[in-house]
Structure formats: C-alpha cells, structure tokens
Amino acid sequence: MIKFENLRFQYSGSSEFALDGINLEIHDGEFIGVIGASGAGKSTLTYAINGTVPHHFKGDFYGAVNVNGLDTVDNYPEDIAAEAGSVFQDIDAQMTATIVEDEILFGLENFGCPREETEDRINEALSALKIEKLRNRNIGTLSGGQKQKTAIAAMIALRPKILVLDEPTGELDPQSSREIFELLKSLNKKYGMTIIIVEQKIMLQCEFADKLLVMDKGKAVHFDTVKNVLKHSEELENMGINCPRIVTLARKLEENGIYSGEYPADLDSAEKMVRQILAETGGKQL
C-alpha cells in the first residue's frame, strides 16, 4: 500500500508548492490512472513515491509518504525501488547501460535476481514489449518509442509489487500505446501488480484504469472510479483535461433532456447509451 499523509512539497527556489496537501491511500493491486494539466504535479507525485523527492530533488517536504511500510524520508530511493519500480518521464535520464540487453540485465543483477533466472526474465520482458530484435542495439541509436519500450521492459523484468509509470507512451503510436496498457493490465491481473500510470491519453486511461486520480495545482482533486470522476467532466475540462468525446456528447445529450444515465467511459458503454436513447425515444427526438 502507498499512503500519503498531508504531503506538501515545494522545490527549492520555487514560490509554489508542487504538491499541496496530498492525502491518499493506494491499495495493493489497484490500477490507477493519473491525469491533470501540465504542471499539475503528476511527475512530482511519482517522485514522492520513488523517494527522489526529497532525496534527489531538494526542497521543503512536509507530511509523510509510506510505500509498503517504507517511509520515503527514512529510506533511500535504492531501497524503495525494491518495492516500487519507476519508469520516468525523462527516459534518457533513466537509462544506465549502452546496450538494450544490458539495461535489463543490470537491473536484475542489482535486485539480486538469481543468475539462472536472468535469461528467462530478459527473454520474457523483450517479448512482452515485442522488442526482441532490439536486444543487441545501442540504446543511443533507438527512437524515442523504442527507448520507452526498453525502459518498460527493464522495469517489468524486475516484477516489482508496484509499478509507477510517468507518460510511458508519450513517444508511441496509438497501437503501441494500447499494447502497453494491455500489457500493464495483464501484469496487474497476473501478479496483482499495483499500477500507477500518468498519461494524457484519456481514452486509454478510462478504459484500463480502476480509478482515476485527478491532479490540479498540486492537489488531488478527485480520486475515484472512472465513472464517478467522469461525472465532473465540465470541471475537468476547465482544468485543461480533455475528456473523452463520448463523455462530452453524453453531457450535451443530458443537457438537452435526451439522456439521463451514466456517462460512458468506453465505446461499449457508449453503444449502450445510444441503444438506450433509441429504445426510449424510438428515434423520434433524434
């Protein structure tokens, strides 16, 4: 479990709190989608989980964060990493090896994976990300998306109990982005891995996450099921978060008295909404 207790953090030299009173509990096995406008504090929240806030990023830190029993002030990021693996927004800063295979291997060695298991884990991670062909490539020559896949492969090879990913599909095409979400969901189901993913791709977040965490100006303004968060679609749009178009459509239909049910979070429920409207109106109002 990850517990934030009235966490406040202000970077040195900054006049505002990047995180401003975060109280949250993230339970084992949850799949959390973090959304929010640029500068809302999403990356800083991930740093507060992996301990780089306050150990690497200096500033004023108040309150407490506890990751699977480890207080992030009393424990170093290296120790917290055994519980919570992170894929950073700045992928280049994350890579330590020159060759793709070594990037995965070094992590396994650092975390004491038995030598006889490493080959299987590397193969499994490369195949999960469909990057077997990149195994011997120099990381410096990879595209942005290939680097992202390598960073994710290196992290999932470690099978952490908690996996925190900060915009891991930013450089990926729509199909690869969906595949990453599918992979994360399968790890979430197979190993009960807790997934915390910061992503702007709202449709994917709505489809795959159990709960959405909405950040705005350093505050966690909503933390609830996707359906419940989408009820605040107008407020989200005012915060600079693009809601799925089907949600905006549902809200407009509601405003016109044509629909009164839940806002659909994915295409299947959008289809149900249309069927419901057709059944109720016989198509007349449309």
Report the run of H or E that residue 215 belongs to, with start and end: strand 211-216
Q: Please, which residue, 42 or 149, has the CB nearer to Mg ion?
A: 42
Compute the Cα dihedral for 150, 153, 157, 162 and give only its sign: positive
Residue 72 touches ligand ATP, criterion: CB under 6 A: no
Residue 33 touches ligand ATP, criterion: CB under 6 A: no
Report the run of H or E that residue 6 belongs to, with start and end: strand 2-11
Stretch that binds ligand ATP, among 37-45, 120-128, 232-240, 272-280 (CB under 6 A): 37-45
**Cα 50 versus chain centre, distance:** 13
Stretch that binds ligand ATP, among 41-49, 147-155, 201-209, 256-264 (CB under 6 A): 41-49
Instruction: Please pick, from the candidates 26, 30, 42, 122, the single residue that binds ligand ATP as defined by CB under 6 A.
Output: 42
Q: Round to the nearest angstrom and report the end-to-end CA distance of the chain.
A: 48
Residue 39 touches ligand ATP, criterion: CB under 6 A: yes
Least distance to Mg ion, CB of residue 89, Å = 5
Instruction: Please pick, from the candidates 18, 125, 229, 239, the single residue that binds ligand ATP as defined by CB under 6 A.
Output: 18
Residue 111 touches ligand ATP, criterion: CB under 6 A: no
Residue 6 has a CB neighbour count (10 Å cut-off) of 11
Residue 38 touches ligand ATP, criterion: CB under 6 A: yes
Residue 43 touches Mg ion, criterion: CB under 5 A: yes
Distance, CA of 263 to CA of 227 (rounded, Å): 7
Going across the sheet that includes 59-67, the strands are 19-26, 2-11, 59-67, 70-71
Residue 188 touches Mg ion, criterion: CB under 5 A: no
